[in-house]
Chain A
Amino acid sequence: MSASAGRFDVVVVGAGHNGLTCAALLGRAGLRVLVVERRERVGGAADTVEIAPGVRAPLAHGIGRMRGSVVRELELERHGLRFIRPNALATALHPGGRAVRFVRDPHRTADGLREWSAKDAEAWASFDRKVRALASVMAWLHAMTPPDLVAPSMADAVAALKLGSALRGLGGPSNLRETIRVLPTAVADFVEDHLDSDAVRTAVAVGGVRYTAMGPRAAGSTAVLLAELAGTTSGPAGESATAAGGPGALSEALAAAVRAAGGEVRCGTEVRRVTVAGDRASGVVLAGGEEVAAGAVVSGADPRRTLLDLIDPEVLGPSLGWRAGTIRVPGTVAKVHLALDGPPAFTAASDGEVEGRLLVNATGIDELDLAFDPSKYGRLPERPFLDVTVPTAADPTLAPEGTHVVSAMVQWVPFELRDGSWDDAASRDALADLVTTSLEEHAPGLAGHVVARHVVTPADLEREYGLTGGHPLHAEPGLDQFFAWRPALGMARYRLPVPGLYLCGSGAHPGGGITGAPGANAAREIQADLRRR
């Protein structure tokens, strides 16, 4: 890399949390980094949105999966990040004030399960151990750059051998067999194999379908569950940790880390396209026409947008262009935020439990599957599965005193409606009504306290946040877009088919969610390449 090529070694497209993570790590490695963001503020979907004057809500649900080594290396807590780690993880609400309750201490969780099944109470400790062991295999995979299956090198062969022995080390042949068997299994089958009560099974199984276009009976949903748990300390129920000030606070801390490392973050500036010189990415052209030269271009945008919108189709060629267009991005998640003029009173959840996640309409596998079915035909579920938080419960600073926020992730909301359009106010109202009705069943009177509603549909996720297809994970986390072939075979090692162009967002291994993992892994590979040049 010649120093005279320009002011920047690396330009990062998009200041989402992965782009910022990648930029900060590269900056700390001594590279001169520019991050360009289309929106007026950093964060992408790791955003805190103002849903009413002075009332703020989290767009991304939590930040409990943020990779610990990134938090430490970038000193994010020094840059203003404060984690809130409620003791309650998740509480699946049932009628009649009953609930399946998961807390951080597995023994206490087990005690609570007795109300559902004595068997499950007995089995919980060993199930919890098993899931943690399997998730640790996943965490191991997440930390690595996937092997190159297209042109395997010696290093890849060694990595594969290491992987094999690491897996075997997890407890002998049976554990390795189990890992291989479990990954493609449907999560409904996985929980059925280990747990007795439908209620408990379902409360765990939701982790295998959240943010995906899969139902609980889809092959590969267990891999999603384990990926969700990888690198967390939560056990089978999944994390509930958030950032004080919402996920936007994480993004602010990351941006501060970029600046502290000598990088520059420019918001309100759209990248028009990536320039290519002699088959190599040479920089970007900004919306105003300004050209920025750099030795490497790193995209935090999703792979489809990156390959189809940012690169000249002639450079990409028709085959790759076609392949990029087939990367699956079936967005099926919406968010509904409610501002309330009083605290929501959930019949089945204590004040402590309200600080964690509340699962609504997840009382049985069949109920979950019934919520999934209509999305295949472009319709809304009658009883949508909701993953709900009350962010103001643990972080009152998000709203003026007396005002409370309920934030509902609505699963299986189609990107395109069969009848109607997300542009119609009626469709958006119908979605908000569905959510309010479901919540009202568990928090009677809640509807009467709603002072503002804020709806983010999959179409909004595409329009506002640039997520193609409205997919919050940049690409469906199916078995066909997994590990060494995420987002597609030949693109899994953070290097895209144009030399010098990298992918560092959720569309890359190990996938979506607020983890910083793809960003950190990409930074490692980019550094290695730039050193080599």
Chain B
Amino acid sequence: MGERYDAIVIGGGHNGLTAAAYLARSGLRTVVLERRHLLGGAAVTEEVFPGFRFSVASYVVSLLRPEIIRDLNLPAHGLEILPLDGTMTPLDGDYLWRVNDHGRTMRELRRWSISDAEAYEEYGQLMVDMARFVKPILAMTPPDPGRPRPTEWLPLGQMVKAWRALSNRQRDVFIQLMTMSATEFLQQWFETDPLIATMSASGIIGTFQGVRSPGTAYVLLHHYMGEIDGAFRAWGIPRGGTGGVSNAIGDAARALGAEIRCRATVGSLLVEGDRVTGVALDTGEELHADVVLSSLDARQTFLKLTPSGALDRSFTDEVGRFRFRGSSGKVNLALDALPEFSCLPNSVTTEHLRGALSFSPSVERMELAYDDAKHGRPSRRPYIDMIIPTMVDPSMAPPGKHVMSCFVQYAPYHLADGKRWDDQQRDALGETVIDTIEERVPKIRDLILHKQVLTPLDMEETFGLSEGNIFQGELSLEQLFFNRPVPGWAGFRTPLRSLWMCGSAVHPGGGIMGAPGRIAALEVAKELRRGRSRTGAGGGR
């Protein structure tokens, strides 16, 4: 008989850690089990090459819930978010630049189109209004439309009230946001193609969709969610990389009494009847607890960790239907010096490089990149979302050197013609990315000291993300809210009593947001309190 806890959290990613911190905060004896030697899951910083530290996978923070920062007092545990200022789209002999400084952005947009500059203001305000409208959904436990419980639908009643308070125009836009493609939605406002392409790009990040695929507009809205908590928090990178977020949450969890074990690989769940009683590590060690929370995705949790036969066939079929479809890769470069963009020749300032650099020159090129992926090929000219973290956090590299992070889309997990991701395919992906960068930074090859290329298969193997999907499951309309991850099981509960889900696999989904971990932990604590008050303290053991 092994150790006994109130709660076991599987996975030490930012959501698992957030859940653990909240569980510990409500007085539960909690342990986090992380397979790797370090915390963070995909929100992780590693010194990949001596002196060069990288946010290996996830690379920016925009959505981390402010209530988590507050509740867990994360700044006291070392969280510091540095602003990432603006987005530059390098083009042939020109560029498109938007920054946090409103006046400068307006001047820049006017250079492209007077009407776009005007529309940009109206658009921005409308999106903030919309984000304010949907924000309560992020903190909501999704109701089950198949078996509505009055208490679950109550918050939706609030939404109906909020809906009635919207103007007709806002309602119209809300429906469009939930149903349209990012590009078609934006084309209603804007005419500058690189602007539409660059703004559309935030609708497809991490999904297996194109900028013209219906259902991508709402992801634009997702990105305005950070905006309403203050412009500063809109986009940023944590000091020390995204691992900085995970470490701060981990520290907070420890301070609240949670135990955190790295190099502890859960081999399977321990199931008795319809109840999970603990976990078995791959070393044979067993840990027992009243509740087990999995921050892994649905496939890992239900099809790999759960002993076969413990779940209904109909449920595992549903899990089997859930779509992952990783679509992105990551290329991390260690650079000898700051790169020079050909669209900024002899530039005296480097301020354009302090934000995101978006390789999204036209809607057509974005869509062509998607066409490749649909047919099982890495994009010949991928969309790249690049940042140079050393511009705002020089501690990431030795003095004078730089690190460059390139998020690459599309790199489909499933390749056509029976090909599989191997060393050769990985090299090819790296070369394609560097070729694409070279079009805008002609001397890039001379600057590269080291490179790290992550394919979707690497993401699966390293971070346990099925099919390399960075959101633990495609963010398509039919896999959101009450359908995430399985219709009827969106409320963080699972068919196995005392097993809960707390990662990006459940509502409200992916991104360094922490919301699933927080809401799940609060639901668990509520349920345990209820159970104990019913059966007396320590009931159910």
CB within 8 Å of B: which residues of A?
149-150, 152, 168, 172-174, 176-178, 180-186, 189, 193, 214, 217-220, 319, 323, 326, 328, 366, 369-370, 373, 376-377, 478-480, 482, 485, 488-490
Contact = CB atoms under 8 A, between A and B. Distances in A.
A516 B144 CA distance: 36
Nearest to A484: B175
Given A152-B164, A480-B180, 8 more contacts: A181-B487, A182-B478, A214-B214, A219-B209, A219-B478, A370-B375, A479-B477, A489-B171
Nearest to B321: A193
Contact of A219 (B144, B171, B184, B476): B476
Interface residues of B, number: 35
A152 B163 CA distance: 11
Q: Which of B175, B367, B476 has the most CB of A within 10 A?
A: B175
Nearest to A172: B146
A489 B172 contact: yes
B446 to A, nearest CB: 36
18 contacts: A168-B146, A172-B146, A176-B146, A177-B146, A180-B482, A181-B487, A183-B478, A184-B215, A189-B323, A214-B214, A219-B214, A220-B215, A220-B477, A369-B375, A376-B212, A479-B215, A480-B180, A485-B175
Contacts of B209: 219
Contacts of A369: 374-375
B419 interface: no
Interface string B70-107: 00000000000000000000000000000000000000
Contacts of A173: 144-147, 488
A232 to B, nearest CB: 24
B214 A478 contact: yes
A376 B212 CA distance: 9
Interface string B176-217: 101110001000100000000000000000000100111100
Contacts of B364: 377
A176 B323 contact: no
Contacts of B482: 177, 180
B327 interface: no
A479 B179 contact: yes
A193 B321 CA distance: 7
- Which 4 A-B pairs rank lowest in CB-CB distance, beginning with the nearest? A173-B146, A184-B477, A479-B179, A219-B215
B188 A326 contact: yes
A218 B370 CA distance: 12
Contacts of B171: 149-150, 489
A377 B439 CA distance: 23
Q: Which of B169, B176, B364, B478 has the most CB of A within 10 A?
A: B478
Given A176-B146, A328-B184, A480 B213 contact: no
A490 B172 CA distance: 8
A331 B340 CA distance: 44
A370 B376 CA distance: 12
B179 A478 contact: yes
Contacts of B147: 173
Nearest to B188: A326
A478 B168 contact: no
A152 B169 CA distance: 16
B214 A480 contact: yes
Interface in B202-256: 209, 212-215
A183 to B, nearest CB: 8
Contacts of A326: 188
A369 B147 CA distance: 37
A182 B321 CA distance: 12
Contacts of A490: 168, 172
B435 interface: no
B397 to A, nearest CB: 41
B15 interface: no
B145 A489 contact: no
A174 B488 contact: yes
B172 A323 contact: yes
B483 interface: yes
A528 B476 CA distance: 40
A373 B375 CA distance: 11
A218 B144 CA distance: 26
B213 A373 contact: no
Contacts of B172: 323, 485, 488-490
Contacts of B367: 376-377
B146 A489 contact: no
B148 to A, nearest CB: 8
Contacts of B488: 173-174, 177
B175 A480 contact: yes
B145 A180 contact: yes
A490 B174 CA distance: 13
B323 to A, nearest CB: 7
B371 interface: yes
A218 B214 contact: yes
A273 B178 CA distance: 35
B200 to A, nearest CB: 14
Contact of A319 (B169, B176, B214): B169
Nearest to B367: A376
Q: Which of A181, A189, A373 has the most CB of B within 10 A?
A: A181
Contacts of B184: 328, 480
Contacts of A479: 178-180, 214-215, 477
A357 B482 CA distance: 39
A180 B480 CA distance: 11
A150 B483 contact: no
Contact of A181 (B168, B176, B178, B483): B483
B91 to A, nearest CB: 20
Nearest to B166: A150
Nearest to A174: B146
Contacts of A373: 371, 374
A381 B374 CA distance: 16
A183 B145 CA distance: 14
B477 A217 contact: no
A193 B323 CA distance: 11
Contacts of A366: 375
A251 B232 CA distance: 63
A511 to B, nearest CB: 15
A217 B374 contact: yes
B146 to A, nearest CB: 3
A205 to B, nearest CB: 14
B455 to A, nearest CB: 22
A178 B215 contact: no
A354 B487 CA distance: 42
Contacts of A177: 144-146, 482-483, 487-488
A238 B239 CA distance: 58
Nearest to B177: A480
Contacts of B323: 189
Contacts of A488: 172
Contacts of A217: 213, 374
